[in-house]
Structure 1
Amino acid sequence: MSSAGGPWDPRQQYRGFGAFPQPEPPRRKRRGWLIAASVLGAVVLIAAMAAVVVIGLREQRTAAVPAPPPSPEASAVRAGWQVVAVPKRGAVYDVPQDWEIDADPGAVHAVGPPDDAVTLTGVAHQQRGFCPGDDNSFRAMSGASARLGPDDAAVAEETLGTFISHAFTRGGVAPLVEQSPPERLQLTGGVPATRVNARVTLPAPTGCDARSVAVAVVATNNDGTSSLVFVGAADQDVPGGVSETTLHEVSTSLRPQ
């Protein structure tokens, strides 16, 4: 994912990710995406993934205050991987060792405008800085949120649609999206969840954008009002990229803590 867009004006838009027991308001579905972050009150601009096969992101961040690591009992469920804490959501998930975990798991990242953003905390990136001249670009990213909806399937599909619409529209051109039907599964500890996958293709990728991007969303713990949600995306068909299989393993390692 490569960086996109110019300086961000906080008077126009807020782009930052959210937290679990405070669900986000209902979202409308649109295409395209631009990521930004808020760290301890400082708004941070991240960049956007390109669609119809994209990715490459940028982030202009201020220094973050390190937060406590996952509790000692939070060990990775996949051998050799590392645990990502999502304290605002009361959850953890795992990523491979070559991923970079945000030093502040409470830092808020968002995709979309203030009234329709997908917000994430507990964020991790893979191949950060891969794009020449863009230290904040990356090939894959992940994070967790909490979103409103009557059940996990509804939440997963709505989140996927909103995320893709905001993250991958380029110059008013929507991406091509191939989406799988909701899949019921069990997370670690037998926790029921729903997962939806999509392959996004950018008609006209630019810069360091990939042409194809895999997106995975897992929703769990619905209480009749909202769900804990994992969102991950990875450039496909790129050197050293994260495969759809690995993205699946990352997404299904989500578990309440």
Structure 2
Amino acid sequence: MSLLRTENITMKFGGVVAVSNLNVRLEKNEIIGLIGPNGAGKTTAFNMISGVYKPTSGKVLFGDKDITGMKPSAITKLGVARTFQNIRLFKELSVLENVVIANHLRLQSNWISSVVRTPDYSRKEKSMYDKSMALLEKVGLADLKDEKSYSLPYGKQRRLEIARALATDPGILLLDEPAAGMNPQESDDLMHFIARIRDEFDLSILMIEHHMQVVMGICERIYVLDYGITIAEGNPYEIQNNPRVIEAYLGVDE
């Protein structure tokens, strides 16, 4: 059984079909890509998987559990975390605080214990900070823990957003254009970083990406969307040499 799969998920906005009958499967410890030209429906697909949108039809399955239309917070608690195309950090908070906030998803306490600050709550709070610092060490941001997140260079903001997602203890990580805005060296560094965290955190990763260097260098399988329709699926070599994919990206001379 696939760790995550979609069964003919479709999203309509009025008379516009943004995604049509999308079938994606993600296996344990895989890194797969979802690519396509601008407006192909990639982020809409992510939004259906992560609960931002409820599909017009079709199902999203996490193992054998139907998560179609569940709230994003409930899906995150099950173990599906995501990042966004436009980085969504708490800009005025420190690097450490951004990661600590994500740990609250797993915090077992009530508002009374947090106000009174019982010994049990204090222990759990310290554990959250320790875990957050350990994550920052692993992503190379520990020395910046007290910096405001908005002050970080773009590539490190991306790493921080991924660290915050990792703080929710996911089994699946959805990355929406993690290399957007990066130069070739930053993209190469990110590619190796993603491969490393997949192994260290025992993750399965589904990513949207426009940087073909990253997609072809890291993804084991790739799905290609065009105008909301899946036009190809295969390994990087098969996708690079698929005439329909070439036509979708480059067009054809009539």
> TM-score under structure 2 normalisation?
0.28
**Which structure has the greater CA radius of gyration?**
2
Give the structure with the larger strand fraction: 1
Give the structure with the larger helix fraction: 2
> TM-score under structure 1 normalisation?
0.28
